[in-house]
A = this chain, B = another copy of it.
Amino acid sequence: MANPTPAELEILQILWSQGDSKVQAVNDKLCEQKPVGYTTTLKIMQIMTEKGLLGRKKDGKSHIYYPLIKQGDTQTSLLDKFIASAFGGSKSKLVLQLLGSKDISKKEMQSIKQFLEEQEKQK
């Protein structure tokens, strides 16, 4: 399955976070960030349906759309591609760049270290 385009990803994020939705609801959410025409959103969601990224069921005169791909799978796939193109395929280079950045919050560092500790216990 091909990766979603940027505009498609925005729509997927909305569906993943707020659940199955009508075009109107998705468009409203998108408009909170930047103005975008209703038919633009509709068109992209129709394309996504053709591609197999979304499914839909009829509801009155409109449709309710839902994602056919999992958020985690998509993130993994996008991440792999990103690491290949920007970090020469090295996962650790990316992580080190992140861990070394000044603007990573303490809370974020906390949850990372905690994850590693729990992983140690597993063994």
- Chain A residues close to B by CB (< 8 Å): 6, 9-10, 13, 72, 74-76, 78-79, 82, 85-88, 90-92, 94-101, 104, 107-109, 111-113, 115-116, 119
Contacts and interface: CB of A to CB of B under 8 A. Distances in A.
Contact of A92 (B74, B85, B112, B119): B112
A85 B6 contact: yes
A67 to B, nearest CB: 14
Contacts of A111: 92, 96
Given A75-B86, A79-B94, A92-B111, 7 more contacts: A6-B85, A9-B86, A90-B108, A91-B98, A92-B107, A92-B112, A95-B99
Given A75-B86, A85-B6, A116-B116, A95 B92 contact: no
